[in-house]
């Protein structure tokens, strides 16, 4: 509609609207610069808000994966050094066993000394088997116990002497009752004495698995869950698999060397030969465990790299969606400020004069 009449109030109203809307836009631009954010409320850009929120969730998840990965690497590093230590000890035990196999030439004193070394190695492996990460035994599964293996007691024979249980019998564990008995194939009866305080360097001390069969895993990527513990049962034996543990093997080797083995396989030569074979088998299990642990470490490292890349990409996405382009915002503010001043100047010119100013 053509404007037919213009009144002073129309000019005032129009000036007010112009100044007001300029000021509103100026405030909006200033807010962008003040907060450094292009989106300050969801309604500023609804779809950008979704992008930003999704990116934030992704960033938070990836941060968490990286934190999980560093915890997982802690576990695997602990396991790695434990396995290396055990490997050294096992190699030593193997060498000693080979020396001990020369039964004809070694005097019994020398054999006893070798047995003593085996006992020390047994104690050392026991200590390493209880390696822990942040208070949790890395070979103990999900147990709440602080150790994966523990001295649980000793067996005595019919005469009440402490003995190393021969193979073919059932080893005691943490739940075996005090006074429990069993008979081996040769008709010898053995009695169990639950006594957790025994010296672990004494071969007759029973070292049993006190962990559980659970496994510990860490989520290091959206779909990547990596196991970060090693099953004590798989490495050292003696768990639910029912296999003899390395501690039983070394105890029997020690007993054979000192010529105190009891039961069906009680002869010295057979005992030592069996010990050599068992230690060798243990060493091959160890290599397998080390290879497995190394592969899992690689998996975590790779997942961490992927996760870090994703974090970076998501951060870029978030920033693009959410953060202000300062140069653009500053220019915008400047031009808005100019427009505001122009509106003010126009107002000062239009509101003031009327015909009355020009009448004499």
Which residues here bind another protein, judged by CB under 8 A? 1, 3-10, 13-14, 17, 39, 41-47, 49-50, 52-54, 56-57, 60-61, 63-64, 67-68, 71, 134-136, 141-144, 146, 174-175, 212, 214, 216-219, 222-223, 225, 322, 354-356, 359
Encoded tokens for 87: 């490997």
- The least CB distance from residue 219 to another protein, in Å, is 6
In degrees, to the nearest 5, what angle opens at C-alpha 276 toward C-alphas 272 and 281? 145
- The least CB distance from residue 313 to another protein, in Å, is 18
Encoded tokens for 290: 């080390």
- The residue (of 48 and 266) whose beta carbon lies closer to another protein is 48
Q: Pick left, alpha or beta for residue 187 (phi over 0 → left; psi -120 to 50 → alpha; otherwise beta).
A: left
> Which residues contact residue 290 at a Cβ distance below 8 angstroms, ignoring those fewer than 6 apart?
80, 83, 84, 87
- The least CB distance from residue 300 to another protein, in Å, is 13
- The residue (of 233 and 322) whose beta carbon lies closer to another protein is 322
- The least CB distance from residue 68 to another protein, in Å, is 6
- The residue (of 101 and 346) whose beta carbon lies closer to another protein is 346
> Is there a contact between 302 and 232 (Cβ–Cβ < 8 Å)?
no
Report the alpha-carbon distance of residue 316 to residue 34 in Å, rounded.
21
- The residue (of 69 and 118) whose beta carbon lies closer to another protein is 69
- The least CB distance from residue 301 to another protein, in Å, is 17
- Mind spelling out the 3-state secondary structure of 14-73? HHHHHHHHHHHHHHHHHHHHHHCECCCCHHHCHHHHHHHHHHHHHHHHHHHHHHHHHHHH
- The residue (of 136 and 299) whose beta carbon lies closer to another protein is 136
- The residue (of 55 and 93) whose beta carbon lies closer to another protein is 55
- In 101-213, alpha helices (H): 108-129
Report the alpha-carbon distance of residue 53 to residue 59 in Å, rounded.
10
- The residue (of 133 and 282) whose beta carbon lies closer to another protein is 133
- The least CB distance from residue 235 to another protein, in Å, is 19
Q: Which of 254, 281, 262, 266 minimizes the C-alpha distance to 97? A: 254
- The least CB distance from residue 189 to another protein, in Å, is 23
- The residue (of 160 and 360) whose beta carbon lies closer to another protein is 360
Encoded tokens for 171: 């080893």
Strands 217-221 and 205-209: unpaired
> Which residues contact residue 14 at a Cβ distance below 8 angstroms, ignoring those fewer than 6 apart?
none
- The least CB distance from residue 58 to another protein, in Å, is 10
Report the alpha-carbon distance of residue 296 to residue 228 in Å, rounded.
7
């Amino acid at each position: 509609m053509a404007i037919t009449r213009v009144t002073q109030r129309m000019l005032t109203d129009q000036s007010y609207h112009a100044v007001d809307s300029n000021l509103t836009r100026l405030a909006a631009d200033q807010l962008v610069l003040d907060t450094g954010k292009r989106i300050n409320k969801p309604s500023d850009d609804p779809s950008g808000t979704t992008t930003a929120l999704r990116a934030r969730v992704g960033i938070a998840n990836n941060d968490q994966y990286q934190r999980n990965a560093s915890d997982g690497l802690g576990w695997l590093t602990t396991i790695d050094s434990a396995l290396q230590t055990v490997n050294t000890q096992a190699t030593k035990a193997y060498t000693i066993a080979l020396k001990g196999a020369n039964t004809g030439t070694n005097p019994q004193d020398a054999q006893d000394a070798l047995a003593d070394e085996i006992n020390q190695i047994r104690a050392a492996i026991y200590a390493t088997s209880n390696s822990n990460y942040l208070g949790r035994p890395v070979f103990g599964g999900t147990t709440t116990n602080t150790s994966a293996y523990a001295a649980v007691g000793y067996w005595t024979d019919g005469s009440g002497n402490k003995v190393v249980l021969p193979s073919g019998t059932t080893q005691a564990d943490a739940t075996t009752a005090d006074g429990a008995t069993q008979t081996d194939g040769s008709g010898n009866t053995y009695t169990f004495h639950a006594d957790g305080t025994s010296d672990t360097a004494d071969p007759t001390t029973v070292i049993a698995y006190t962990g559980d069969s659970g496994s510990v895993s860490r989520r290091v990527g959206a779909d990547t869950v990596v196991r970060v513990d090693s099953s004590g049962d798989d490495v050292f034996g003696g768990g639910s698999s029912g296999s003899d543990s390395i501690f039983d093997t070394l105890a029997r080797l020690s007993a054979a060397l000192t010529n105190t083995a009891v039961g069906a396989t009680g002869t010295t030569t057979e005992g030592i030969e069996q010990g050599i074979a068992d230690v060798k088998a243990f060493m091959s299990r160890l290599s397998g465990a080390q290879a497995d642990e190394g592969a899992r470490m690689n998996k975590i490292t790779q997942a961490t790299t992927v996760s870090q890349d994703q974090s970076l990409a998501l951060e870029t996405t978030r920033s693009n969606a959410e953060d202000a382009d300062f140069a653009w915002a500053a220019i915008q503010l400047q031009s808005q400020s100019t427009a505001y001043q122009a509106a003010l100047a126009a107002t000062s010119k239009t509101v003031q004069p009327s015909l009355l100013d020009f009448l004499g």
